[in-house]
C-alpha cells in the first residue's frame, strides 16, 4: 500500500488528538493509503524532540517552515494557536501539500478567503477540524432531515457552552488576544455555526450581541497585575436560513457547570431532533402523529447500523469517544487525498463559517441585522 507522510505542526491537546487519530485510523478502516507519522514541528527543538518521541514521529524540527518545505511530507496537519493557521497553511499550499487545519480556519475573514483561494487554485485537498460533524449521530440527524422525516425545517436553536474561562482569575492567555482567538464566538462558536449550516442549511441573515463579562484577567499565573480583556465571553445571535427557517445561536466559555454543551434542537413541520455533545452517543427524535397521551421523544442509541460506529464496536450502546471522532475525520481526509471520496468540511465551507461569525460581529457593532451574503 502507498504511504501518506504526515507532518504535524503543534503537539498540545489537539496535536496529540491528531497523532492518535493518524495512528489508529489504519487499524479501524480499510484505507487506500497508509498514514505514516513522519515529522513533527513545535516551538523549539527540545519541545519538538520530546513530543516526536512521545507521539511516535520519526523526525522532528523546531521550525515549521522546514516541515512544510520538506519534499517527503504529503499532508500538513495544523494544530497551533489560531493566529498561526493562515501563515502555515498558506506556506504548505504553496509547497503543494494537502492541509488538515484545526478550526477556526483563521482569525480574520480576509485570511480565510486567501487560504481558500490558494487551496482551490493549487488543487490540494483541505479539511478543517469540525470533528463533531463526524459523529455518526450527526450523520443520522442529517439523513433524517434530508429524507424529510421531520418535514420542512422551521427552526434551529443551537448552543456551544463550556466553562473553561468562567473563573475571572483564569490568567490572560492567547485566547484573550483579539488577533489570536477572537473570543468565544470565533473560537468555540464556530462549532455551532458549522453544525447549523450542516443540518439546517445556509445562514443568510444575523442579528448578534457580544458580551465581555470578565473585563480583566491576571497577566500571568499568580500575578497581581491584571490585563484588560476585550474579546467576548459569550455571544448570542438570531439567524435566518436560506430555506426559510429561523433560529438562534449561542456561544459561551463562561457557562458554569457546562463542560461540552454543543447542543441543538431542530424543529420541522412533522417532528424534531434534539442532541447534546455531552451525551453524544444519543439522538432524540420526535415525529408527530403518535397516539394521544403517548407522544414524546424516542431515544436512539448509537449502534453499528449508524455509519462509522460499526468500525469501533459491533454492538449498540457501547459508546465511542472524542478521539474516535478524530479517527473518522482522518479517514475522510485520507480517502479524499486518495481521490476515492470528497472531504468536508473543506476550506470553502470553513470560510463560510467565518463569514457568518464576521456578520455577527458587524451586527453587534452596528446594532442591526446583517445580510451574510453582503459580508
pLDDT 10s digits, 332-360: 999 999 999 988 999 999 999 999 999 99
Judging by beta carbons within 10 Å of its beta carbon (0-12, 13-18, 19+), is residue 310 exposed, middle or buried?
middle
pLDDT band at 122 (very low <50, low <70, confident <90, very high): very high
Domain 3-131 in CATH 1.10.10.60: no
pLDDT (mean) for 101-113:
96
pLDDT (mean) for 20-26:
98
The DSSP bridge pattern shows strands 246-252 and 153-161 to be parallel
Nearest residue to 298 (alpha-carbon basis) of 144, 136, 153? 144
pLDDT band at 289 (very low <50, low <70, confident <90, very high): confident
- Looking at the predicted structure, is the pLDDT value of residue 268 above 90? yes
pLDDT 10s digits, 201-257: 999 999 999 999 999 999 999 999 999 999 999 999 999 999 999 999 999 999 999
pLDDT (mean) for 163-180:
92
pLDDT (mean) for 305-313:
96
Query: How large a percentage of the chain has pLDDT more than 90?
Result: 95
What average pLDDT is seen over the chain? 96
**Measured between alpha carbons, how far apart are the two ends of the chain, in Å?**
45
How many helices (H) and strands (E) are present in the chain, helices listed first?
Answer: 10, 17
For residue 222, give every residue at least 6 positions away whose Cβ sits within 8 Å of its Cβ, in sequence order, or none: none
Q: At 273, which helix (H) or strand (E)?
A: strand 271-276
SS3 state of residue 31: coil
pLDDT band at 179 (very low <50, low <70, confident <90, very high): confident
Give the pLDDT score at 182.
77
Domain boundaries, the chain: 3-131, 136-279+281-320+345-366
- Looking at the predicted structure, is the pLDDT value of residue 293 above 90? no
Give the pLDDT score at 49.
98
Give the pLDDT score at 1.
77
- Looking at the predicted structure, is the pLDDT value of residue 16 above 90? yes
pLDDT band at 189 (very low <50, low <70, confident <90, very high): very high
Give the pLDDT score at 352.
98
pLDDT band at 260 (very low <50, low <70, confident <90, very high): very high
Q: Phi and psi of 143, rounded to 5°?
A: -65, -40
Nearest residue to 150 (alpha-carbon basis) of 12, 28, 274? 274
Q: Is the peptide bond before 353 cis (omega within 30 degrees of 0)?
A: no
Q: What is the pTM of this model?
A: 0.96
pLDDT 10s digits, 150-162: 999 999 999 999 9
Give the pLDDT score at 295.
86
Shared fold status for 3-131 and 136-279+281-320+345-366:
no
Give the pLDDT score at 226.
97
Distance CA 270, CA 161 (A): 28
CATH superfamily of 136-279+281-320+345-366: Dihydrodipicolinate Reductase; domain 2 (3.30.360.10)
pLDDT 10s digits, 40-80: 999 999 999 999 999 999 999 999 999 999 999 999 999 99
Amino acid at each position: 500500500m502507498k504511504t501518506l507522510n504526515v507532518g504535524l505542526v503543534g503537539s498540545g491537546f489537539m496535536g496529540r488528538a491528531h497523532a492518535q487519530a493518524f495512528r489508529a485510523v489504519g487499524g479501524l478502516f480499510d484505507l487506500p493509503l497508509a498514514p505514516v507519522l513522519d515529522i513533527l514541528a513545535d516551538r523549539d527543538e527540545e519541545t519538538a524532540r520530546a513530543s516526536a518521541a512521545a507521539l511516535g514521529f520519526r523526525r522532528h524540527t523546531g521550525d515549521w517552515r522546514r516541515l512544510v518545505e520538506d519534499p517527503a511530507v504529503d499532508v500538513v496537519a495544523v494544530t497551533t494557536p489560531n493566529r498561526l493557521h493562515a501563515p502555515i497553511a498558506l506556506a504548505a499550499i504553496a509547497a503543494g501539500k494537502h492541509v488538515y487545519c484545526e478550526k477556526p480556519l483563521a482569525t480574520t475573514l480576509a485570511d480565510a478567503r486567501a487560504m481558500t483561494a490558494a487551496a482551490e487554485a493549487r488543487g490540494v485537498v483541505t479539511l478543517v477540524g469540525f470533528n463533531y460533524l463526524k459523529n455518526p449521530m450527526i450523520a443520522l440527524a442529517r439523513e433524517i432531515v434530508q429524507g424529510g422525516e421531520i418535514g420542512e425545517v422551521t427552526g434551529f436553536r443551537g448552543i456551544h457552552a463550556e466553562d473553561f474561562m468562567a473563573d475571572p482569575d483564569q490568567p490572560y492567555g492567547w485566547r484573550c488576544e483579539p488577533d489570536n482567538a477572537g473570543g468565544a464566538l470565533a473560537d468555540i462558536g464556530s462549532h455551532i455555526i458549522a453544525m447549523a449550516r450542516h443540518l439546517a442549511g445556509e445562514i443568510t441573515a444575523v442579528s448578534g450581541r457580544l458580551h465581555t463579562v470578565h473585563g480583566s484577567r491576571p497577566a500571568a499565573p499568580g500575578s497581581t497585575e491584571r490585563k484588560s480583556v476585550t474579546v467576548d465571553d459569550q455571544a448570542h445571535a438570531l439567524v435566518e436560513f436560506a430555506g426559510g427557517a429561523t433560529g438562534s445561536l449561542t456561544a459561551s466559555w463562561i457557562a458554569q457547570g457546562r463542560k461540552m454543551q454543543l447542543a441543538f434542537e431542530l424543529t420541522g413541520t412533522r417532528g424534531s431532533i434534539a442532541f447534546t455533545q455531552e451525551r453524544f452517543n444519543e439522538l432524540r427524535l420526535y415525529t408527530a402523529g403518535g397516539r394521544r397521551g403517548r407522544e414524546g421523544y424516542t431515544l436512539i442509541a448509537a449502534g453499528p447500523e449508524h455509519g462509522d460506529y460499526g468500525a469501533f464496536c459491533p454492538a449498540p450502546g457501547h459508546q465511542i469517544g472524542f478521539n474516535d471522532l478524530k479517527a473518522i475525520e482522518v479517514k475522510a481526509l485520507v480517502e479524499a487525498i486518495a481521490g476515492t471520496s470528497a472531504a468536508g468540511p473543506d476550506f470553502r465551507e470553513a470560510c463560510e463559517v467565518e463569514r457568518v461569525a464576521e456578520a455577527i460581529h458587524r451586527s453587534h457593532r452596528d446594532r442591526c441585522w446583517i445580510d451574510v451574503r453582503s459580508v
